[in-house]
Structure 1
Amino acid sequence: MKVAIIGMGTAGVSTLNQLSKHKKFKNITVDIFDNAEDMGMGKPFQNDSDRLLINLPANQMSLDPQNEKDFKKWYKKNDEFDYGKAKYLPRLVFGHYMKSILNKLLQKHDNIFVHKHKVDSCYVEEIKDERGQYKIDVCYIEDDEAVCQKYDYVFLTIGMLPYKDPYQLSGLSGYIESPYPTTRALRNVKQNDDIAIIGTGLSSVDVIRYVMENHERLPLVVTSRNAQFPSVRGIRHEIDLKYINDKAIEKFKKSHKGVVPLKNVEKLFKKECEYQNINLQKMLYRFKKDNVYNMKYDLRHEDEVGHFQSFIEEVKHHMIPLWNAMTIDDKKAFLDKYGHHFKRNANPMPQSSAKQLIDWIENGDIIVKEGLENVRKYYGKFRIKYKNVENENSYHYVINATGPKKHLSELTEDEHFIKGLENKQIIAAHPFGGILVLPYTNEVISPKFGTMPNLKVIGQLTTGVNFDVNGVSLLVDQSVRAVKDLYIELEERKKAKKVQSKKK
C-alpha cells in the first residue's frame, strides 16, 4: 500500500508516528510532503522568538498517547535547550521535539520518503480498485515541472488555514497579515512607528509579549470588537465524566428519533457540573469588561478556575457524538449561547503572560480598546474606527492577530490547494467550518465520489464535525483513530487479493 501524508506539522508527525508503531508498518510505503521550513515542525512551533510560550504546561504536552509527559522527558534529556524548570516552555522547543521524532523515524525506517515540496493539487482517478476505492493523485512542483504520484491512501494534515483578513488589508504596506514568525513579521518596523494589534486571543498575547520586549514606541494599542483576553490557566484537575458519555447520548437519541435536543444537552451539562461540584453559572459569567479584573480574578481563584477549565478540556474529548446529534438550529443556538465560553476557557493563557499583561496595562504601556468597527489605509497610515466614536486613530503598522480562517468561503484564490479540491468536488464545505467528513473516522465526504475511506483529514479542517480540534492531544486522538482504520483497510485489501487470486 502506498500512503501519502500531506503536511508535516503536529498532525502529520503524529500520524506518521502512529503508523510506524504497527507491526505491519513495513508493508506500506509512506511519502511525506511539506516545505523545508515547516517539515516536522509546522507553523505554530517553528523557530521563532522564545518569548512565545505554549499555553499548556510542558508536562501535559506529548505526541505519545500513552505518555503525556513524553515532551517533558525529551526536554530534560536535551542539552540544546535550557529554560531551567520553567512550567511553560517556548513554542519552538516543542517544534524541535516533533522534529526529533521525525528524524528518528527517518533513520529507523527505509520505507519513509521525504518530499520537501508543498502539494499543489490532488486528483481522484475515476477507476475503482479491487476494494471499490479510488486512487488519489498527489501533484507538486519540482524543478519547475509538475510531478504527480498515485496513492492508495492519503492523510490530509495541512494544519490551520491562513489568517483571516476581516478588513481586506492584505497586500498593503505596513499590514502584517500573519503574526508568525514574529521575528520576521516585525523586521521592517522602526522604533518610532506606532503599532496596533487587532485581535485579543492567544495569538495576540504572543505578539504583545514580543512587541513589548522589542519595540520602544509606547503605548501599544490592542483592539477587537469585544477586546476580551482568554482566561488564565488554573490548577489542573483530573476529571472523570459520569453523565456526558456515549450511553447517555445514545439514550437521548433513541427517545428523540436520533437527535439530542439542546435542552437535553443543557441538562447533561448541568447534571455533570453538579456531580463535579462546579458552579456552572459562576464560572460562565465570572467575567467583566475589565481585562485586568478578569485576569486577577483567575489568578486569585486558580483552583476553582482550573477545575472548570479541566472539565471543559475533558468535555471536548467527548463532544463528537453530542455535537453531531444536535440539529443545525440547536448547534447555532449552542454556539450563540456557549461557544465563546468554550473558546475562552478551553484555551487559557499561562499565568506568567497574564501577570505581564496586568503590569503593562496598569502602567499604561498597553491600551486595550473595544468596539473595533473598521480598519482602512488612508494617506500612508492605517485608520482605526471604533463604534460610536467619530474620530479615527492612525498607526504606521497593523498586526493581524485575529486567528485563522474557518470557512472555505473565506479562502482566496491564493489558497488554491484547498480551493482546488473544492472546485473539483473532492471536498465540500461544512456549514460550521472546515469540510464534510464522517464523525470519528474523518473520512472525506465528497459531493462527486461519495464517502472516501482512503482520504482522511486530521486537524482544523474537521472543525465543523469535531466541534473544536484546537489542541495537541485532540490531534493525536484523531491520528490514532485514522491510523487504526488504515491497518484494517490493509488487511481487507489482503483478503480481497486472495479472493481474486482464487478466482483466477
Structure 2
Amino acid sequence: MKIAIVGLGVAGVSVLRELSRQLDTKQKTDYKIIIYTSEKEWGTGFPYQNDDESLLINQYTESMTIDLDNKDDFMNWVKRNKTVDAPYHTHLPRKWFGDYLRETAEQCMKELNTEIRFEKVEDIEQTDMGHYTVFSNQSAEKVDAVHLTTGHLAYQDPYHLKGEAGYIYNPYPAEEVLTFPENTPSVGIIGSGLTALDAMLYIQKKYPAIKLTFYSRNGLFSSVRGDEPAVNLHYFCDDRVKDLLNQMPELTIGKVKEWFYKEMEEHQIDANWVWKHLGKGTLEGMALDLQYSKELGEFQSMIRHMRTCYPFIWNALADNEKDQFLSEYSEQWQRFKAPIPQDTAKLLIEQINENAIRMVSGLESINKTADGFKLLDSEQNSYTEEYLINCTGQSMKVSDSLHLQSKLLQNLINKGMLTPQKYGGVKIDYPSMSIIDKSEFKHALFKTYGQMVSGVQFGNNNVELISHSARTGVRHMLAAMQKQN
C-alpha cells in the first residue's frame, strides 16, 4: 500500500502523527508513505516557516499543540529547547512552533516507512476506483490513498496589482521579501489584520526610519487578546451539541444563540455586554479591550473552547441561516476569534496616537503609476507610495480566485476532481474529510484539510481542529482500505 501526503505543514504532520499511531507494527513496514513538500517548508508549512522571531503566534502558547493527547506538548517542548521557563500565557515566535512541528515529523518518520520527495505536485488523477496517480514536476507515482495537506490558499489580489514593481503580493517569509533601500521614506500596508501587524513589527525592527501607513476599507483592526481562563463547557461540548442536533428537525441561528447564551450564563458571562462594547477593532475599541481584559478573556476563552462544535453546527444550518450569520455577526465574530496580543495592541495604539503610524480607512482604489502607486479613499483624498505590501489575507472562495491558486488546485478543480464549496474551499464529507467531486462522488481514499475545507470548517482553521480532522481522516481512510481488501 502506498499513501501520498502532499504538503508537510500542520495538516501533513498531523496525518503523519496519526499514521504512526493508528497503523499496527506490520502496517508500519508494509505501508509506504510518500511525502511531497518543498525544502523550504518541509515540516513547518507556510505560516510556521523559518522567519524572523518578531513574527509571533497570536494564540497563547498553552492552546498550541500538535498532540491531541497531550495539551502541554508544545509548552514542554519550549521548556526543553528554549530559554523560557514559564511559557503559559505567552506569545512566542511562530518559527518556534515550526521547529516543534519539524521535530514531530522527524520522530514520526522514524516509526514509518517513509520517502520524502522535494517535488512540486502539479496534478492528481484517479486511475481506477482504488488508485490515484500523483504527478509532480519530476515524477509520476501510483498510490492507494492521498492526503492533500497543502495548507494555505493563495493570497487575495483585490486591486489586481500582482506582478507590478514595488508591490509585494505575498509578505512571507518577511526576511526574504520585505527588503527596502535604506533611504526608503515610507511603505504602505494594504489591510489591517494579523498579517498587516506582522509586516509592521518586522519593518519597525529592521527599518525603524520607514514611516508606515495602513490602508484599509473599514479601518478596523482585530480585538485584543484578553486574559483567558480555563473553562469547562456544559452546553457547547461535542456530545451535547450532537445530541441536540439529532433532536432538531432544523437548526436556526436563533436556536444557536439560545445555546450560546445559556452557556455564557452558566459561566456568569454577560455576553450581551461584551458583544456590545468590546471587540470593535477601532483604536478606542482596542483601548477598551485592554481595560476589560478579564471580561474579554472569559468570552474569548469560551468561544475558543467551543470551536470543535462549530463544524457540526455550521453544516446543520440551511444556507439562508448561514447567510444571516455572515451578514449580522461574522465580522465581529472573526475579530473575537483572531485577536491581537496585548503588547502589540498597546504599541499600535501608542504609535497611531503619536502619528508615528498612519491609518487610512475607506480605501477605494489603487493604481500603478510611473513612480509607484496612487491610492484614493472614499472622500477622494489621494496618497502615493513607492512600495505596497499586500496583507489582505487568503482568498477562501476558490471559484472566485482560481487564477491565483496553485497549478495543482487549478487542475483538480478544472477537471472536476475537486468542487468549489459555496462558503469557501472545496466540498468534502465531514468528518471523514473525503473529497466530493463534480459528480457528487465521495472519494473515501482522497482526503483534504485546513483552508481547503474552510466552507465546512467555517472560519475555524486552527491547529487543534486540523489535528482532530487528521485523526478522523486517517481512521476513515484505514477503514476504507480494509473494506477494499
**Please, what TM-score do these two structures have when normalized by structure 1?**
0.90
For residues 275 and 76 of structure 1, what CA distance do their matches in structure 2 show? 35
For residues 149 and 252 of structure 1, what CA distance do their matches in structure 2 show? 42
The equivalent of 1:405 in structure 2 is 395
For residues 489 and 244 of structure 1, what CA distance do their matches in structure 2 show? 31
Alpha carbons 1:34, 1:115 under 8 Å: kept? yes
Q: Which runs of 5 or more structure 2 residues have no equivalent in the other structure?
A: none
Task: Report whether the alignment pairs 1:156 with 2:127.
Answer: no
Q: Indicate the RMSD between aligned Cα atoms, in angstroms.
A: 2.0
The equivalent of 1:21 in structure 2 is 21
List structure 1 runs of 4+ shifted beyond 6 angstroms.
none
2:144 is aligned with what amino acid? Answer: D
For residues 288 and 191 of structure 1, what CA distance do their matches in structure 2 show? 38
Task: Report whether the alignment pairs 1:395 with 2:385.
Answer: yes
How many pairs were matched up? 478
Shift of 1:413: 6.1
Alpha carbons 2:188, 2:389 under 8 Å: kept? yes
Shift of 1:239: 2.9
The secondary structure found in structure 2 opposite 1:475 is helix
Task: Report whether the alignment pairs 1:457 with 2:437.
Answer: no
The secondary structure found in structure 2 opposite 1:197 is strand
Q: Deviations over 1:461-486 (max 9, x none)?
A: 11111112321111111111112222
1:112 is aligned with what amino acid? Answer: T
The equivalent of 2:11 in structure 1 is 11
Q: Deviations over 1:58-79 (max 9, x none)?
A: 232111111121112112222x
For residues 341 and 239 of structure 1, what CA distance do their matches in structure 2 show? 22
Shift of 1:250: 4.9
Shift of 1:159: 0.5
For residues 312 and 254 of structure 1, what CA distance do their matches in structure 2 show? 23
For residues 343 and 315 of structure 1, what CA distance do their matches in structure 2 show? 14
Shift of 1:288: 8.1
The equivalent of 1:339 in structure 2 is 330
Task: Report whether the alignment pairs 1:212 with 2:204.
Answer: yes
Instruction: Choose from 276, 280, 295 the match for 1:285.
Output: 276
Shift of 1:55: 0.9
The secondary structure found in structure 1 opposite 2:456 is helix
Alpha carbons 2:279, 2:336 under 8 Å: kept? no
Task: Report whether the alignment pairs 1:66 with 2:69.
Answer: yes
Go from structure 1 to structure 2 and tell me whether the alpha carbon gap of 1:19 and 1:252 turns closer, same or farther (over 3 Å shift). closer
For residues 428 and 35 of structure 1, what CA distance do their matches in structure 2 show? 25
Spell out the pairing of 1:111-130 with structure 2 (5 A cutoff): 111-125=113-127, 127-128=128-129
For residues 390 and 117 of structure 1, what CA distance do their matches in structure 2 show? 48
- Is the radius of gyration larger for structure 1 or structure 2? 1
The secondary structure found in structure 2 opposite 1:318 is helix
Q: Deviations over 1:227-274 (max 9, x none)?
A: 211111112223333233554565456543xx2122222222222222
Instruction: Choose from 25, 36, 39 the match for 2:39.
Output: 36
For residues 394 and 349 of structure 1, what CA distance do their matches in structure 2 show? 28
The equivalent of 1:418 in structure 2 is 409
For residues 82 and 339 of structure 1, what CA distance do their matches in structure 2 show? 39
1:379 is aligned with what amino acid? Answer: A
For residues 116 and 279 of structure 2, what CA distance do their matches in structure 1 show? 50
For residues 112 and 214 of structure 1, what CA distance do their matches in structure 2 show? 40
For residues 280 and 367 of structure 2, what CA distance do their matches in structure 1 show? 26
1:150 is aligned with what amino acid? Answer: K
Alpha carbons 2:245, 2:316 under 8 Å: kept? no
Q: Deviations over 1:173-199 (max 9, x none)?
A: 000011111111222444323211011
Alpha carbons 2:154, 2:404 under 8 Å: kept? no
Alpha carbons 1:425, 1:447 under 8 Å: kept? yes
The secondary structure found in structure 1 opposite 2:157 is coil
Q: Which runs of 5 or more structure 1 residues have no equivalent in the other structure?
A: 129-133, 497-504
For residues 83 and 238 of structure 1, what CA distance do their matches in structure 2 show? 21
Alpha carbons 1:5, 1:32 under 8 Å: kept? yes
Task: Report whether the alignment pairs 1:263 with 2:254.
Answer: yes
Shift of 1:436: 0.4
